[in-house]
Structures are given as structure tokens and as C-alpha cells.
Structure 1
Amino acid sequence: MEQLMYGMTGQERRKAATTGTVRGSAAYDMGSEEISLARRFVGEFLDAARSRHGLEVSARAVEIAQLVVSELATNVCKYAPGPCLLDLETDGSTLDIVMWDSGPVLPAASPADPARIGQHGLELVLMVCQSFAVHREPVGKRIRVRIALQDDPPGRTTW
């Protein structure tokens, strides 16, 4: 299976080839103009996963992935300007989005306030993701989110 592997070592490429995963990585000096580049990278990654690897990726999943990356990148611009790494990995059913930045402050959703204008990005991310985790790193933090690639993922109850 051909892999999208930007910036991966030979050992990482061999592991990806044996596990059936598709991976991609990008690095940014996260200024506001680069948010759109990160969104485009996600779209191109998922388009390639669909066209080159035959993975089922709904249009809604692409939009959600781009929204999530946009919100995470916006937070980097606001609270941790500087270098940012974006890693994407899919096994065909879910997409893991991992974003590292150099900021030491861990994100927290604001308390519910219908009168509040703005600062809803993390709330949106938490609503559309299957999982969300933040880990401190020796420098900065790493945020990992997982989204479903199909509109009705297995194990999800619908009414």
C-alpha cells in the first residue's frame, strides 16, 4: 500500500507499510496565514487516502477534519505562536490528528455562556471528535484528536 509519508524516517515508512496505515506530516511557523495551508493539507491528505488507497472518506469527515485543524491551528496562533507540527494518520475507519506546539499552557474549554462571543473553538472540537487528549511534552504540548471517516461509524447508536 502506497503511503503518504512526508518527513518520515525509513523505519517509520516500513512500519506504516506493514500496518496498513496512511500517514502524513507537515510543519508550520504558525502564523494566521498558515491556518489555511494546514486546512488544505488535511483536505489533500484525505483526498489521496480516498483516491490512492480506496479508503471511504465522507465529505462530512473532510469538513470536520478541516474544522478541527483550523480550530487547533487558530489556538496555536493565539496562544503559542511559533513552530507547529501536524501529523495525520488513518487506518481507514478513523483519522488521528496530532498537533504539537511549543506553548506550555494546556487548553481548556470555557464554561458554557450563551452570551459569550468567540472562544468556542475547543467546544466545537470536543463536540465533533470521538476522542481528545492533551499531553505535556518536554517543550510544549501535543494534542491528539480522533474523528470517524464515515458518517455512521461502527458502534455508534443512531435513533
Structure 2
Amino acid sequence: MDAAAQNEGQEPLADRLITASAVFEGSADIAEARVLARDFLTSVEADHGLPVSARAMGMVHLVVSELVTNARKYAPGPCRLDLEISEGAVQISVWDSDTTLPSVQAADAERVGQHGLEIVMAVSQTFCVHREPVGKKITASVVLADDPGGNAVGRQAM
């Protein structure tokens, strides 16, 4: 049976929502968040046929690590990680219960620590913070594929 016959009556593969979510409550769960992200992107490539560059894999791993670490460090209670494929990028959203919006400090090579959001903003195509009815949600996106020259597709030249 061909793929078209198998998918008869279903949404086209490219139009299906590809997502993963998890709630984390302890600092040890930060490693689990990274594993979830890696497994999600592996599935996106293997099961859905979307290309995921090595750069994208590394950047998503980094963004998930920084955002979940910040949520666990600064907010009481659990945090939620949502991953979604949209328009050739992975949208990484982390919700936490703290209503205080993060502030990105000016670059300072002398400062030790507190560079997480700077890093996330530098490697992401988009970055935004939304206040929620309870807490806040930070969303960043990372393009999945690189152009033939190795540059991130869709990344705006500075």
C-alpha cells in the first residue's frame, strides 16, 4: 500500500501539528528537559521527515537548558516545557508561576553568571515574553535546517 492510501482521510503530513510537552518540578528534571528536546527533534526528523541540522539540535538543547534552568531557579512550583514545529522552526516555550518578567542585562564580560537570556536571544530566531493569567511564558524559536552554506535559514543578517 502506498503512503497516500495509508494516509487517506488524514491531514497531510506537513499540516499535522508536531508537539511535545512536559511539566518539571525539580532541578534534576533539567536534564530530563534536555532529553525530551533531543528525543523530540530526533522524532521530527525520523518520523516526520523534516530536516534537523546539527546546529539546530545543539541550539535547541542549549535554549531548553537555559530556559528550564531559569524557571526552576527563579520561580516557585513547577514549570512547563512545550515544543512545537511551526514554519520550519521549533518553538520552545517555558511557562512558570512567577509573574516577575525577566530582565536582560547589558553585555558585561566581567559579570559571572546571569548570561542565560543573552545566550537564548543570540541563538534564537525569535524571542518573546508573555505575562500569563498565572505567571509568564517565554518563547524562543530555532530554525531547523541550515542553508547549503551552513547558515541558519531565516536568520536575519546583523
Task: Sort the TM-score into its range (normalised by shorter chain).
Answer: 0.7 to 0.9
Choose which of 98, 121, 125 in structure 2 pairs with 1:126: 121
Match of 1:27, SS state, is: strand
User: Does the Cα contact within 8 Å between 2:22 and 2:82 map onto a contact in 1?
Assistant: yes
CA contact (8 A) 2:146 2:153 kept: no
- Assess, with a 3 A threshold, how the Cα gap between structure 1 residues 79 and 16 changes in structure 2: closer, same or farther: farther
Alignment RMSD (CA, Å)? 2.3
The aligned counterpart of 2:21 is 25
CA distance in 1, matches of 2:133, 2:68: 20
Aligned runs of 1:104-119 on 2, under 5 Å? Answer: 104-119=99-114
3-state SS, counterpart of residue 69 of structure 1: helix
Q: Give the TM-score of the pair, scaled to structure 1.
A: 0.82
- Report if aligned partners of 1:21, 1:92 keep a CA contact under 8 Å in 2: no
Task: Kindly report which structure 2 residues correspond to 1:1-159, keeping only aligned pairs within 5 A, or say none.
Answer: 19-29=15-25, 31-91=26-86, 93-152=88-147, 153-156=152-155
Could you tell me whether the CA contact under 8 Å between 1:104 and 1:140 is conserved in 2?
Answer: yes
SS of the residue corresponding to residue 65 of structure 1 reads: helix
Structure 1: 5+ residue runs without aligned partners? Answer: 2-13
Q: TM-score, normalised by structure 2?
A: 0.83
Distance in 1 between the 2:14 and 2:89 partners?
18
Q: Summarize the Cα distance change of 1:154–1:24 in structure 2 as closer, same or farther, 3 Å threshold.
A: same
Gaps of at least 5 residues in structure 2 are: 4-9
User: How far 1:138 sits from its partner (Å)?
Assistant: 1.1
Structure 2 residue matching 1:114: 3-state secondary structure:
coil
In structure 2, the CA distance between the partners of 1:46 and 1:92, relative to structure 1 (3 Å rule), is farther
1:52-71 deviation line (CA, Å, top 9, x unaligned)? 11110011111100100100
- Name the CA shift for 1:15/1:38 in 2 (closer, same or farther; >3 Å): farther
Runs of 4+ residues over 2 Å off in structure 1: 14-21, 151-158
The count of residues paired between Structure 1 and Structure 2 equals 145
